[in-house]
């Protein structure tokens, strides 16, 4: 691997396991895994995230680009219409987004986050 080129390979970094905060969960028992492949030390992160089924409240302070690799999720902004996310879809979530993330079928995504 070169200093200026990073492969998105889960085998190269340790997995971080977790779940949404209990008070934010609306349904199910969602759990997630994150492979944070890039951390520039200045608030830029990139990697792979996956989650089991469930629904929880989200509140974004950061900017995020993501691309759905597998599964089905529904993202609903407070006061907005539900958006179905399926493999092949790409989106940007801007700071200030508040709403719900519902994983209908286990979902995996690539992400790039800027804090």
Is this prediction's pTM over 0.75? yes
Beta strand ranges found along 60-97 (DSSP E): 63-77, 82-86, 90-93
Burial pattern 27-58, b for ≥16 Cβ within 10 A else e, equals: eeebebebbbbeeeeeeebbbbbbbbbbbbeb
Q: Is 2 helix (H, G, I), strand (E, B) or coil?
A: coil
pLDDT single digits (tens) 20-39: 999 999 999 999 999 999 99
Strands (E), the chain: 16-18, 25-28, 32-39, 44-51, 54-59, 63-77, 82-86, 90-93, 98-114
Say which DSSP state 25 is in. E
Q: What is the pLDDT of residues 59-86, one digit of tens each?
A: 999 999 999 999 999 999 999 999 999 9
Average pLDDT over residues 48-60: 98
**Three-state SS at 67:** strand
Mean pLDDT throughout 30-50? 97
pLDDT value of position 2 = 60
pLDDT at 1 over 60: no
């Amino acid at each position: 691997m070169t200093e200026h080129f990073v492969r998105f390979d889960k085998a190269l970094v340790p997995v971080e396991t977790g779940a949404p905060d209990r008070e934010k969960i609306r349904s199910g028992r969602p759990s997630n895994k994150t492979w944070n492949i890039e951390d520039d030390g200045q608030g830029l992160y990139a990697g792979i995230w996956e989650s089991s089924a469930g629904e929880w409240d989200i509140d974004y302070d950061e900017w995020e680009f993501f691309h759905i690799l597998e599964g089905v999720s529904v993202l609903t902004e407070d006061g907005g219409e539900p958006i179905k996310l399926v493999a092949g879809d790409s989106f940007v979530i801007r700071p200030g987004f508040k709403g719900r993330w519902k994983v209908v079928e286990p979902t995996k995504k690539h992400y790039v986050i800027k804090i």
